[in-house]
Amino acid sequence: MFKKLLVANRGEIAIRIMRSAQELGIRTVAIYEETDKTASHIMRADEAICIGTGPRKDYLDIDRIIHAAQSTRAEAIHPGYGFLAENPQFSKQCTEAGLVFIGPPPQVIIDMGSKVIARRIMEEAGLPSIPGTSVLEHGEQGEGAAAAFAEKHRFPIMVKAVAGGGGRGIRVAQNMEELRRFIAIGRSEAKMAFGNDQVYLEKGLTNPRHVEVQILADMHGQVVHLGTRNCSIQRRHQKMIEMAPAFLPDDLSNRICETAVRAARASNYLNAGTVEFLIDQDDNFYFLEVNTRIQVEHTVTEVITGIDIVREQIRVAAGEPLSIEQKDITFRGTAIELRITAEDPKNNFMPDPGVIELYQSPGGHGTRLDGAVYQGYEIPRYYDSMLSKLTVYGFTWNEAVDRLRRTLDSFLIAGVKTTIPYYKQIVNDPDFINRNFDTSYIETHPHLLDYQEELPPIDKLAKLVAEINAYGYNPYSGR
């Protein structure tokens, strides 16, 4: 096992990785930019090293990160998610520098990172895939291929970036005029976001459910799945709420999980990954993509299985076999995760950086909080707006929803706008309570944005802090 591990990330996921590493007796190294020097992940590591002035550029500088690992005598690097997590060059250069990259090998990242190549591999393995094109060429030839695809499969049609991820680089065209325009826009956006302007087309499914399967694969030929997650509640193809299990009929759930394991084997997968599917209104399911990293929503799977996914990642990277076999994995209860972000839902979810004047987190039975902020922390405008992830567990779905409602009522962040009041609307919505949702949920429930701000004015914060310190509760909660 490694003696020291560098975490090439920041925020809550960096802290999450450090916890598992430290439980394994591994010392951890944090990296940070000068613009991020007050971040809490720095304080949670055994040691920290500044890699540049920032912002953002140094977190993406492979040479600087590798140098930081070498200078601190780290043996392995965990990339977390985002930043360089799905960059095959990072994986390759780590290996060349004598460092262990905790994730898949470069070729797997290359193959699965290209949505076109990934779909071809899965089709050759006999997996059900959504009809799509190869990479569209520029000029008349590409336009002709797009027109032929539209004529054969009809609208809606999705324009996707070949190198896309995290819901970015996707547009849905409803007619030929939109299709031509979105291809041009898609190329430009993809070039800016991913450094690759390649796009392709995919048949759009009407209001599907988005379901994914967590998989783990070791160097000894063992591949297991950790069940399903439902990630259908999304805004512009970016997930907001995730839950496990996905509440599918047993036969459908079993077939999807078996297909995910086949997908892992077909791609020669190693370490942790997620195989994603779309399910249409007739319960037909289609391969969507493979995410070659730890997922934001891995917490819900950990809660219902009791398996530490990051711990398994580290063990696999060290050459050890998985600590569990498929027959050992059981599922119990329901878990729901919310992404708490510093955004203003009423203003098109625009980021709202600033100082957290007051922070009061929830707790109690069945509550897990993966966070990276604290009272007095100034949220930088340069990075992701994620503040924390709230995960609750219940023996039943209804119990989990009740617990989620209670924890949101006791979760207070003042000084910046957050998504907490919006989530309070959702957990009281009958469609959510009855699990009546698909990927159109946010768009078809605009009334959920009709809420009143619940946070006290800034000029009352000093009095509120004093009352909390004196009485140990939030007098504004109504209790």
Residues with catalytic annotation? Answer: 293
Report the alpha-carbon distance of residue 273 to residue 279 in Å, rounded.
20
Q: Are 248 and 331 in contact (CB under 8 A)?
A: no
Report the alpha-carbon distance of residue 419 to residue 287 in Å, rounded.
31
Report the alpha-carbon distance of residue 28 to residue 12 in Å, rounded.
15
Report the alpha-carbon distance of residue 422 to residue 419 in Å, rounded.
5
Q: Are 167 and 237 in contact (CB under 8 A)?
A: yes
Q: Give the three-state DSSP class for 286.
A: strand
For helices 115-124 and 250-266, give the axis angle rounded to 10 degrees.
Answer: 110
Q: Is 61 exposed, middle or buried (0-12, 13-18, 19+ CB in 10 A)?
A: middle
Structural tokens at position 200: 């392709």
Q: Scanning the structure block, which residue is given the tokens 């897990």?
A: 368
Q: Are 4 and 28 in contact (CB under 8 A)?
A: yes
Report the alpha-carbon distance of residue 295 to residue 391 in Å, rounded.
14
Q: Is 364 exposed, middle or buried (0-12, 13-18, 19+ CB in 10 A)?
A: exposed
Question: Phi and psi dihedrals of 113, rounded to 5?
Answer: -70, -25
Q: Are 179 and 173 in contact (CB under 8 A)?
A: yes
Q: Is the peptide bond before 245 cis (omega within 30 degrees of 0)?
A: yes
* Alpha carbon separation from 343 to 209, 267, 386, 450 (Å, rounded): 25, 37, 9, 16
